[in-house]
């Protein structure tokens, strides 16, 4: 798309001058420290004026070798590392990882544990989408959305802090259960949060949804067709934004999701605006799920009870009985005992399908652990999406994909 200049009154001159106006392609490094590349993504752009002719994502700035690290520690010791994949929804990562390993052991967790996990996953989804929404607002020039969504997110962090002991790095699940039961009165506080959240969410969304400036930046920008979305392996809101109604919570339910009623919002055009709308609606559906779980919160144990080779004995027992003391030592030093075999499990995380492929040769340490990170797959469509757009649209497209480099680079 070379720019053409016309000299109306100098026909002869035009021919001679034309080569001088051949625009030269310019290369521009966007990131790894650029506010709109959310973390440490680097885009190597080739520009023709304002138009992007080529976009090459360069990743790996946050690579920590998580998969290799996993091979060197017991299954439970790896839980804190899963916090650091999609660090905007650590609870959801914890849950996905625990379920994957439990599938390997063919271990069922009690209903209460499942319910706790569903609530934590959905709250994590809301928190992650709130950040996505606020950051997207800033990317396209709407500052206040960020402030209000972060105020709500702070309330969620207070709830996470009570539940897990940490705001951010939750490390909440264990193989066969969760680290501890929900604290006294916590479910009421979650309920109260949900009630006040919906009107506020509507107010926040209203700042953008019918906003002409926002729509100008997003409608018809970064259109992903249904076929492309599937071909590039997109998942999560980015896939649903393109009209594909795949949601693992519905299509391959885990942790008791089949018990709850919720809708799967999908887009119609697959542009940035659709992806934004889908995330907005998903938060409302998450609230709906949380309310259903809380209305019928199961009592009983919150850890698998019949798995002495996997789940640690209770602290009281460890302190008073020699047998449990030894069991505790064995479990910690050798890890939860898994059968040989392999398993692949995907969970519907806020960013898309987070998969863990665990290969075990028996014992308490994985032989190989592969992480299928949704952000990594979602970013693979960037070169196609960005070619031919303006530089400012790249910012809009990046924000709408809502990726996180922690899990992309892992």
Residue 143 binds to another protein (criterion: CB under 8 A): no
Residue 78 Cβ vs another protein, minimum distance, rounded to whole Å? 8
Among 87, 97, 146, 148, binds another protein (CB under 8 A): 148
Residue 88 Cβ vs another protein, minimum distance, rounded to whole Å? 18
Is the bond leading into 359 cis (omega within 30 degrees of zero)? no
| Residue whose token pair is 């040989």 | 340
Which has the closest alpha carbon to 92: 347, 404, 357? Answer: 347
Tokens (6 digits) for 70: 């996993």
The Cα–Cα gap between 165 and 75 comes to: 21
Residue closer to another protein, measured from CB, 332 or 359: 332
Tell me the C-alpha to C-alpha distance, in Å, between residue 320 and each of 33, 305, 328, 334, 335: 54, 19, 12, 22, 22
Q: Mark 236-265 with x for binding to another protein (rule: CB under 8 A) and - for no binding.
A: -------x-x---------------xxxxx
DSSP at 306: S
The Cα–Cα gap between 248 and 233 comes to: 14
Residue 263 Cβ vs another protein, minimum distance, rounded to whole Å? 5
What is the DSSP secondary-structure string of 131-193? Answer: HHHHHHHHHTT-HHHHHHHHHHHHHHHHHHHHHHS-SS----EETTEESSPPPTTHHHHHHHH
DSSP at 22: P
DSSP, collapsed to helix, strand or coil, labels residue 348 as strand
Residue 223 binds to another protein (criterion: CB under 8 A): no
Residue closer to another protein, measured from CB, 37 or 218: 218
Residue 161 Cβ vs another protein, minimum distance, rounded to whole Å? 6
Residue 266 binds to another protein (criterion: CB under 8 A): yes
Residue 179 binds to another protein (criterion: CB under 8 A): yes
Q: Which of residues 276-305 bind another protein (CB under 8 A)?
A: 277-278, 280-281
Among 44, 169, 191, 337, binds another protein (CB under 8 A): 169
Residue 363 binds to another protein (criterion: CB under 8 A): no
Q: Which of residues 62-121 bind another protein (CB under 8 A)?
A: 73, 76-81
The Cα–Cα gap between 12 and 29 comes to: 39
Q: Which of residues 303-332 bind another protein (CB under 8 A)?
A: 312, 315, 318-320, 325, 328-329, 332
Residue closer to another protein, measured from CB, 50 or 263: 263
| 211 contacts: CB under 8 Å, gap ≥ 6 | 142
Which has the closest alpha carbon to 382: 42, 20, 139? Answer: 42
The Cα–Cα gap between 360 and 238 comes to: 32
Q: Which of residues 180-219 bind another protein (CB under 8 A)?
A: 180, 183, 203, 206-207, 210-213, 215
- Helix-helix angle 111-139:272-295, to 10 degrees: 150
DSSP at 184: T
Residue 162 binds to another protein (criterion: CB under 8 A): yes
Residue closer to another protein, measured from CB, 57 or 402: 402
Residue 182 Cβ vs another protein, minimum distance, rounded to whole Å? 11
Interacting residue ranges for another protein, rule: CB under 8 A? 73, 76-81, 144, 148, 151, 154, 158, 161-162, 164-166, 169, 171, 179-180, 183, 203, 206-207, 210-213, 215, 243, 245, 261-269, 273-274, 277-278, 280-281, 312, 315, 318-320, 325, 328-329, 332-333
């Amino acid at each position: 798309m070379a720019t053409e200049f016309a000299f109306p009154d100098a026909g002869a001159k035009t021919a001679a001058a034309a080569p001088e106006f051949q625009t030269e392609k310019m290369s521009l490094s966007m990131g790894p420290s650029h506010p709109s590349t959310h973390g440490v993504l680097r885009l190597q752009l080739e520009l023709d004026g304002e138009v992007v002719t080529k976009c090459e994502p360069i990743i790996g700035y946050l690579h920590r070798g998580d998969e290799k690290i996993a091979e060197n520690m017991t299954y439970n010791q790896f839980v804190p590392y899963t916090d650091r994949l999609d660090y905007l929804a650590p609870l959801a990562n914890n849950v996905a990882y625990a379920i994957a390993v439990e599938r390997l052991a063919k271990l069922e967790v009690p209903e209460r544990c499942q319910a706790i996990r569903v609530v934590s996953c959905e709250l994590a989804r809301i928190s992650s989408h709130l950040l996505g929404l606020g950051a997207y607002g800033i990317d396209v020039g709407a500052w206040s959305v960020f402030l209000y969504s972060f105020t709500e997110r702070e309330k969620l962090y207070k709830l996470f802090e009570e539940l897990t002991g940490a705001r951010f790095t939750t490390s909440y699940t264990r193989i066969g259960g969760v680290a501890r039961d929900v604290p006294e009165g916590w479910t009421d506080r979650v309920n109260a949060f949900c009630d006040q959240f919906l009107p506020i969410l509507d107010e926040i969304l209203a700042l953008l949804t019918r906003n002409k400036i926002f729509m100008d930046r997003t409608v018809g920008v970064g259109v992903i067709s249904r076929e492309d979305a599937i071909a590039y392996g997109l998942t999560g809101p980015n896939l649903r934004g393109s009209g594909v109604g795949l949601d693992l919570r519905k299509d391959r339910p885990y942790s008791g999701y089949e018990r709850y009623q919720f809708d799967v919002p999908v887009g119609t055009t697959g542009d940035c605006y659709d992806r934004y709308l889908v995330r907005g609606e998903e938060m409302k559906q998450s609230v709906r799920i949380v309310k259903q779980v809380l209305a019928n919160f199961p009592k009983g144990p919150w850890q698998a009870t019949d798995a002495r080779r996997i789940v640690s004995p209770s602290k009281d027992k460890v302190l008073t009985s020699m047998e449990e003391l030894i069991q505790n030592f064995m479990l910690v030093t050798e890890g939860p005992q898994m059968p040989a075999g392999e398993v692949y499990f995907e969970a519907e995380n806020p960013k898309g399908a987070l998969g863990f492929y665990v290969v075990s040769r028996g014992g308490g340490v994985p032989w190989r652990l592969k992480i299928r990170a949704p952000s990594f797959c979602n970013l693979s469509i960037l070169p196609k999406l960005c070619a031919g757009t303006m530089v400012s649209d790249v910012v809009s497209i990046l924000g709408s994909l809502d990726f996180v480099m922690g899990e992309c680079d892992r």
